Amino acid sequence: MHLLAIDWFFILEKLILIALVVTLSMIVAMYATYGERKVAAFMQDRIGPNRAGPFGLLQPLADGGKLFFKEEIIPLASSKFLFVLGPVLAMVTALLTSAVIPWGSPALIAGRTVPLQIADINIGILYVFGVVSLGVYGIMIGGWASNNKFSLLAGIRGASQMISYELAMGLSLIAVLMLTGSLQMSTIVQNQLDNGWNIVYQPLGFVIFFICALAECNRTPFDLPEAENELNFGYHQEYSSMKLGFYLFAEYINMFISGVIMSTLYFGGYDIPFVNEASWGISQNLLAFISFAVLMVKACFFVFVFMWIRWTIPRFRFDQLMHLGWKRLVPLALVNMIITALVVLWLQK
C-alpha cells in the first residue's frame, strides 16, 4: 500500500497566499471608501474626511467600528437563515474571484519557484464568470428574505441588470480568448508579454467590458439597485450592522477585483510597460514585488475611474439601462467577436 506524499510546503504556500489576497482585498475595500469620499469632496470643492487621524486616514477604521457595534436587527417576518445568507454570499463571491488572478511574476522562496497565483486552472475565465454569476443570488436572496416589497423590487432590478450585462461581458471576452487561444489567466498574461497588450487589439471589447463591469458592480450610472433617494435604499434596506457592512464591502471588493481583471485581460496584468525586466539584473523576488506593485497601480487607476464616473455622470432610468445592455452592447459585442474571428482565421492562413 503506497501512501501519497503530501507537499506541506505547497499547502502552506497556498494558505499564506490566500490569507494575503483576502487581507489585501479587505484593506483596499476599506480604503476605497475613504478614497471615494475624498474624490467626491475634491470634485465638489469640499475637504472630505479629515477628523479621524492625520488627513482622515483612520476614518475607515471608525466607520468599520461603528458598523461592528451597531445594533443587529433582523425583521421578525423575514426568513432569518436566508436573511443572513444574502450578505455572506455577496461577500464570499466577491473574494472568490481573486483565486485565479496572477498577482505578479513568480517569486523564489527556499529554492522553489512560487507563482503568485492561488489556482492556475485552465478554465480561469469560466471560473470568474461562474463565481460572478453567484453574486446575483446574494442580491436576490437579501431582497426577498427581508420580506419588504421595496427590497424585493430592488433585488429583482439588480438581478435582471447583472444577468443582462453578463451576456455582453461574456461576448466581449470571447474575442480575447480567440486571440490567446486559452482560458487560463496566466497564459493570457504571457501572451500579452510576448505579443503586446490586448487593449491594442481589442479596444472595442475593452470598452464593452468596462461598461459591463460598471453595471456588475452597481456603480453609477448603473446603481439603480441601490439608489437611496429615488428607490428607498434598495435591496439592503432592512439590513444593519455588519450584514449591511458585508454588502457595502462586497461592492468595493468587486470594484477592486474588476480593476485587477481588466488589467489582467487587456493591460498586460503585472507586465511593466515599455521596459525589458530581464535587462535589469535584479533578484527574482524584487522583480515579483515590482510586478505586483505595477498590477496594483493599474487596478487602483480603474478604481479611481469608477469613482470619477460616479461623481460626474447622472444615472440612467431602468428602461435606458436595459436598452443599452440588450440593444447596444450585445450587438456591438457580437460584431466585435465576428470581426476578431475573421481576422484570426485570415492570419492563420
Q: Per-residue pLDDT tens for 228-250?
A: 556 566 788 888 888 888 888 88
Q: Which of 21-35, 155-169, 213-227, 323-337 has the lowest mean pLDDT?
A: 213-227
Q: What is the pLDDT of residue 1?
A: 44
Q: What is the pLDDT of residue 347?
A: 82
Q: Per-residue pLDDT tens for 297-333?
A: 999 999 999 999 988 888 788 788 888 889 999 999 9
How far apart are the C-alpha atoms of 103 and 98, rounded to whole Å?
9
What average pLDDT score do residues 267-282 get? 81
Q: What is the pLDDT of residue 132?
A: 84
Residues of the chain above pLDDT 90, percent: 24
Amino acid identity for residue 43 in this structure? M
Higher pLDDT, 317 or 295: 295
What average pLDDT score do residues 126-151 get? 86
Confidence of residue 114 (pLDDT cuts 50, 70, 90): confident
Q: What is the pLDDT of residue 5?
A: 56
Q: What is the pLDDT of residue 231?
A: 57
- Coil, helix or strand for 22? helix
Q: What is the pLDDT of residue 4?
A: 54
Amino acid identity for residue 336 in this structure? N
C-alpha cell belonging to residue 335: 460584431
Task: Provide CB contacts within 8 A for 272, sequence distance 6+.
Answer: 290, 291, 294
pLDDT of 3 > 60? The answer is no
b or e along 117-149 (b: 16 or more beta carbons within 10 Å of the residue's beta carbon)? bbeebeebbebbeebbeebbbbbbbbbbbbebe
Residues of the chain above pLDDT 70, percent: 95
Q: Of 144, 8, 160, 138, which is closest to residue 86 (Cα–Cα)?
A: 138
Q: Which of 70-74, 129-133, 223-227 has the lowest mean pLDDT?
A: 223-227
Q: Per-residue pLDDT tens for 120-130?
A: 888 888 898 88
Task: For the beta carbon of residue 101, count every other beta carbon within 10 angstroms.
Answer: 25
What average pLDDT score do residues 327-345 get? 91
Q: Which of 27-31, 74-78, 285-289, 320-324 has the lowest mean pLDDT?
A: 74-78
pLDDT of 262 > 60? The answer is yes
pTM for the full model?
A: 0.88
